[in-house]
Structure 1
Amino acid sequence: MAYREFVNLVHKSTKRDYLARVTQRDKADVADLAVKFDFDYWDGSRETGYGGYKYDGRWRKVADAMVETYGIKPGMRVLDVGSGKGFILHDFLESVPGIEVAGIDISSYGVEHTMEDVRPFCQVCSATKLPYADKYFDLVISINTLHNLFNYDLDSAFREIERVGRGAKYICVEGYRNEREKVNLMYWQLTCRAFHTPEEWDFIFKQTGYIGDHEFIFFE
């Protein structure tokens, strides 16, 4: 298991007004909308989610870095657990033509609005029960998804990622290292269920047998 900085290539480029997140509208109301992972979360107001989640190419640098790090070649298989609208899967296909991609997401809206070139390879599914054979994928990734699960579902999700992966694995989750980052995370998040320090995440990795790479994003 190694700590890899892929998502931080794009995470720190976003400016966030943490106080506005909890003062502009009732935070509980907007969170209720966000956790449906429907229009409001993806393409509604910034208060309830992404504020319009449109492809802008920012994930290409993340895909390229993963391709180089994990030696992804044509013919290999890549799974994204929590694929959203398929942006990084699209970038993987552009980076390495000839690979096989797959994506799952709990959001019907996200899958319905997945980019056209990867939509046939994505399906609505829970991370807790992946519809793939053992050791099927050469790379399994999950970016900013697993912290949206309660602990009992986290356990299943990590075990499933280990089960379907025969090669590299990488997950990125939110975390906090101090009280300021914890407060910022609680202010900013809309869908997070697992609020953990890096040490707590390490404990979960060990409990579930997850041996892949990982990364944390912090709200500094």
Structure 2
Amino acid sequence: MSYIDFLTPLHTSTKRDYLKRMMEYPKAETITVAKRYDHEYWDGDRRFGYGGYKYDGRWRVVAEAMAEQYNLKPGQKVLDVGCGKAFLLYELTQVVPGLEVAGMDISSYAIENAKEEVRPMLQVADATKLPYEDNSFDFVISLNVLHNLYCQDLDKALREIERVGKKNKYIVVESYRNEQEKVNLMCWVLTGECFFTPEEWEWWFQQTGYTGDHSFIYFE
């Protein structure tokens, strides 16, 4: 298991006003709306989520880095757990022509509005019960998803990722290293349920037998 950071440049490119996020609107209301994972979360007002999650090519550099790091080749199979609109999966097919991709997300809106080129390879499903056979994929990824689960479901999802992957796996979750980052995290996130330090995340990986790589997102 290695710490490999592909996402920090994307994450830090967005400027965040944490206190405004917490105080501008009733936070409980915005959380309730966001957790529906429908139009409001993906393409509605910014207070409910992304504020419009459109394809803009930003995931290309991540796809290139992943393809190089894991030596992805045509014919190999890649799964994205919590793929959203599947922009990263699309970029992977462009970086590695012939790569076979699959994606799942709990949001039917995300799947219905995913990148059309890969939409046929996607399905609505639950991360705690992946609809795939054991050892089905050469590479399994899950980015900014697992911290949205309650502990009992996080346990199941990590075990499921381990089950369906042959060897290479990579997950990204939100974390905090100090009290300021914890406060920022609580102010900003809308759908998070697991707020853990890096050491606590490491415990979860060991507890569930997760053997893949990982990195953390911090709200500095």
Q: TM-score range by the shorter chain?
A: over 0.9
State the secondary structure of the residue aligned to 2:84: coil
State the secondary structure of the residue aligned to 2:57: coil
State the secondary structure of the residue aligned to 1:117: coil
State how far apart, in whole Å, the 1-side matches of 2:183 and 2:195 are.
Answer: 11
State the secondary structure of the residue aligned to 2:206: helix
State the secondary structure of the residue aligned to 1:159: helix
Within 5 Å, which residues of 2 pair with 1:18-29? Answer: 18-29=18-29
Unpaired runs of 5+ residues, structure 1, are: none
State how far apart, in whole Å, the 2-side matches of 1:190 and 1:53 are.
Answer: 16
State the secondary structure of the residue aligned to 2:139: strand
Counterpart residue identity of residue 156, structure 2: S
Unpaired runs of 5+ residues, structure 2, are: none
State the secondary structure of the residue aligned to 2:78: strand
C-alpha displacement at 1:167, in angstroms?
Answer: 2.2
Percent identity at matched positions?
A: 61
State the secondary structure of the residue aligned to 2:128: coil
State how far apart, in whole Å, the 2-side matches of 1:40 and 1:176 are.
Answer: 27
C-alpha displacement at 1:3, in angstroms?
Answer: 0.0
State how far apart, in whole Å, the 2-side matches of 1:201 and 1:85 are.
Answer: 26
State the secondary structure of the residue aligned to 1:20: helix
C-alpha displacement at 1:83, in angstroms?
Answer: 0.4
State the secondary structure of the residue aligned to 1:55: coil
- Structure 1 position 80 matched with structure 2 position 80: yes
State the secondary structure of the residue aligned to 1:135: coil
C-alpha displacement at 1:40, in angstroms?
Answer: 0.7
State the secondary structure of the residue aligned to 1:171: strand
Which string of whole-angstrom CA distances, capped at 9 and with x for unpartnered residues, describes residues 171-210 of structure 1?
Answer: 0000000000000000000000000000000000000000
State how far apart, in whole Å, the 2-side matches of 1:14 and 1:74 are.
Answer: 33
Counterpart residue identity of residue 59, structure 1: W
State how far apart, in whole Å, the 2-side matches of 1:9 and 1:219 are.
Answer: 13
State how far apart, in whole Å, the 1-side matches of 2:16 and 2:124 are.
Answer: 30
Q: Which residue of 2 aligns with 1:107?
A: 107
Counterpart residue identity of residue 172, structure 2: C
Counterpart residue identity of residue 26, structure 2: D
Name the TM-score, length of structure 2 as normaliser.
Answer: 0.99
State the secondary structure of the residue aligned to 2:65: helix
Q: Which residue of 1 aligns with 2:186?
A: 186
State how far apart, in whole Å, the 1-side matches of 2:43 and 2:187 are.
Answer: 20
State how far apart, in whole Å, the 2-side matches of 1:139 and 1:102 are.
Answer: 11
- 1:73–1:99 CA contact under 8 A, matched in 2: yes
Q: Which residue of 2 aligns with 1:51?
A: 51
Name the TM-score, length of structure 1 as normaliser.
Answer: 0.99
State the secondary structure of the residue aligned to 2:205: helix
Counterpart residue identity of residue 3, structure 2: Y
C-alpha displacement at 1:7, in angstroms?
Answer: 1.0
State the secondary structure of the residue aligned to 1:210: coil
C-alpha displacement at 1:38, in angstroms?
Answer: 0.5
State how far apart, in whole Å, the 1-side matches of 2:130 and 2:40 are.
Answer: 26
State how far apart, in whole Å, the 2-side matches of 1:32 and 1:132 are.
Answer: 31
- 1:9–1:62 CA contact under 8 A, matched in 2: no
Within 5 Å, which residues of 2 pair with 1:1-220? Answer: 1-220=1-220
State how far apart, in whole Å, the 2-side matches of 1:64 and 1:8 are.
Answer: 15
- Number of aligned pairs? 220
- 1:108–1:124 CA contact under 8 A, matched in 2: yes
State how far apart, in whole Å, the 2-side matches of 1:114 and 1:107 are.
Answer: 11
C-alpha displacement at 1:9, in angstroms?
Answer: 2.7
